[in-house]
Structure 1
């Protein structure tokens, strides 16, 4: 519209050029202005301003003045808008930082309270699973409501089962075998977020699309090894195959790879690694890539707007997270009691490795993590962002590297009856969506060990 206005002004300005007598020129200008008045847009944008200016100057000068003003505005307006939006963005970022600071201060205060569990938190007691009603600080005692009878009883705090870390896992190559750890680091000081070296490598096909156990279950038999104290190489191992040490390449052939809907920059890790993987999986086009250190990947802003995946930050830097090639969030936590429920329903043992958690906790009731909002493990602070929806991955027996269709059918049937989105009110509330474990992000970063106690700070609304 501004361009059309300027063209109209240019036409009027040209009519004002002194190529004819002043009387003829004035009449011609008035004819042009009259024509402009017939159109409602030009009447508003040109006619009225020019009519106003002609009270103070001849028509030709009024046209030239308005033309100059419009031209100046057309040049300055984009810069003005850019500055305005930039200021708005800075103000928004400042507001976000302020809100985060308030939130962290609030959690710092809550963290100092003596009770481990807040009201409404599920706990395990000698009398059975229960839900906290009140904590009596003077008596160091909880009033809880028993899940089975809805009866309220008082239980000494020392009799409430403590929730602790039982297992820690990382999966250096996405969808390959995991490594059980006794301790881990959430955010390496110079590398990724999430647990150190977790899902930093990825196998891709000829189209640079990610490859998983869903189509290639034999990937479960690839057991990568990495020295967490000096993670400058990755060792590929599998039964019956000579191991291969793959030096970490941070420069070289770049590939823009796909993980679900995300496109991610990665570095190809060389022909030797590709040859080893291609031979083991019998897929000649497969390549091994590693997450590019300088690349950052945003978590789903609907759940974790202030977190990224795979960015390089120093310890304690601004909130960003995740190991690079995770499906969407950096850390998956699950409870042993939840697995116990599945095993009781299935009447058969199920390895927790089928669900590929990073942190396994024990001592809490089944599905307790559904309800946790903010919680601490040792000195680290985590935030529950969403329940973890499950796909066909649990159908793969990690010990055999083959699909167990009977197990998948049974697991899915149990989860659909006990853990479907409609009954739980999770996400889009669809019956076919089933859930096990919780996706979390870490807000305070550092070491994590087996045996660390979980302290629940807030509950999800």
Structure 2
């Protein structure tokens, strides 16, 4: 039987994962997932572990104010309030998409800039400012926050197990930063799924996830694999049209609750 074996939320884009036992799914994915983002102070361009491996050491947790508590080794914790309706809007870019979203203030900017070594700002995306998902894969009105392109990412546990065998050592699931992990399927079975149901929620499986150098970073230390694994092995059997695919992007159909252990049904 297929079941949901793990749930992960990433409050800060490219920050540390937050393992969950249950989560609410809202209009743009897991509630709170990738709703905060670090951007270059001058250009507004989003930042990630691809260029800043030290971001792998930033934890962001919800605090009592509805904002975040930022944590990193050697730095004092910082509580960041949820920006209000009158907060300054900052122009930012996520890949080719431009948005105007609330800035989280100078104190958060100073904390991040000192940690990361150049001027950065922290921004937050409210639901009403989420961006349109690529209409080549989505309906008009289907939105995403600061995730790369889609609201949710799913990986089968068997797919990771197969990849680990091929690489020759155990690999951490968090190298691939999924929201949902499914247990009980054959390796790469998710490649053929078009619609699934978890609990009472339905999801469309819309596009394979193309992978990059970020998968070669140890999620605990931020250190890059000297042998460029697992990307090197993935290229030998998961490359198509110049991209390497592992995992599937999803769009949720409606809102509801997810809980680890829920059965998963393949509808199509």
Aligned counterparts of 2:190 and 2:39: Cα–Cα separation in 1: 33
Which residue is equivalent to 1:291? 125
Which residue is equivalent to 2:238? 419
Secondary structure, aligned partner of 1:402: coil
Aligned counterparts of 1:296 and 1:241: Cα–Cα separation in 2: 31
Aligned counterparts of 1:331 and 1:307: Cα–Cα separation in 2: 16
Secondary structure, aligned partner of 1:202: strand
The correspondence for 1:207, drawn from 40, 43, 55, is 43
Q: CA deviation at 1:231?
A: 6.7
Aligned counterparts of 2:29 and 2:127: Cα–Cα separation in 1: 14
Secondary structure, aligned partner of 1:434: strand
Query: Which of structure 1's runs of 4+ aligned residues deviate more than 4 A?
Result: none
CA contact (8 A) 2:70 2:80 kept: yes
Q: CA deviation at 1:367?
A: 0.6
Which residue is equivalent to 2:25? 186
TM (norm. structure 1) is 0.56
Q: CA deviation at 1:272?
A: 0.9
Matched, 1:304 2:126: no
Which residue is equivalent to 2:245? 435
Residues 14-35 of structure 1, C-alpha deviations (whole Å, 9 max, x = no match)? xxxxxxxxxxxxxxxxxxxxxx
Which residue is equivalent to 2:77? 243
Aligned counterparts of 2:226 and 2:21: Cα–Cα separation in 1: 32
Residues 410-441 of structure 1, C-alpha deviations (whole Å, 9 max, x = no match)? 322221222111xxxxxxxx1x3110000000
The correspondence for 2:116, drawn from 270, 281, 293, is 281
Secondary structure, aligned partner of 1:274: helix
Secondary structure, aligned partner of 2:55: helix
Which residue is equivalent to 1:445? 255
Residues 294-315 of structure 1, C-alpha deviations (whole Å, 9 max, x = no match)? 3241111111124432xxxxxx
Aligned ranges for residues 36-75 of structure 1 at < 5 Å? none
CA contact (8 A) 2:191 2:247 kept: yes
Q: CA deviation at 1:293?
A: 4.2
Which residue is equivalent to 1:379? 200
Aligned ranges for residues 2-401 of structure 1 at < 5 Å? 162-187=1-26, 193-205=28-40, 206-226=42-62, 232-250=66-84, 251-283=86-118, 285-309=119-143, 322=144, 324-401=145-222
Which residue is equivalent to 2:267? 457
CA contact (8 A) 2:202 2:252 kept: yes
Residues 200-234 of structure 1, C-alpha deviations (whole Å, 9 max, x = no match)? 0110012110011000001010011115xx67110
Residues 84-108 of structure 1, C-alpha deviations (whole Å, 9 max, x = no match)? xxxxxxxxxxxxxxxxxxxxxxxxx
RMSD value, Cα: 1.4
Gaps (5+ residues) in structure 2? none
CA contact (8 A) 2:65 2:81 kept: no
Gaps (5+ residues) in structure 1? 1-161, 310-321, 422-429
Which one has the largest radius of gyration?
A: 1
Per residue, is there more helix in 1 or in 2?
1
Residues 282, 173 of structure 1: CA spacing in aligned structure 2 closer, same or farther, 3 A cutoff? Answer: same
Residues 384, 231 of structure 1: CA spacing in aligned structure 2 closer, same or farther, 3 A cutoff? Answer: farther
The aligned length equals 266
CA contact (8 A) 1:381 1:445 kept: no
Aligned counterparts of 1:307 and 1:349: Cα–Cα separation in 2: 40
Secondary structure, aligned partner of 1:328: coil
Residues 141-170 of structure 1, C-alpha deviations (whole Å, 9 max, x = no match)? xxxxxxxxxxxxxxxxxxxxx111111011
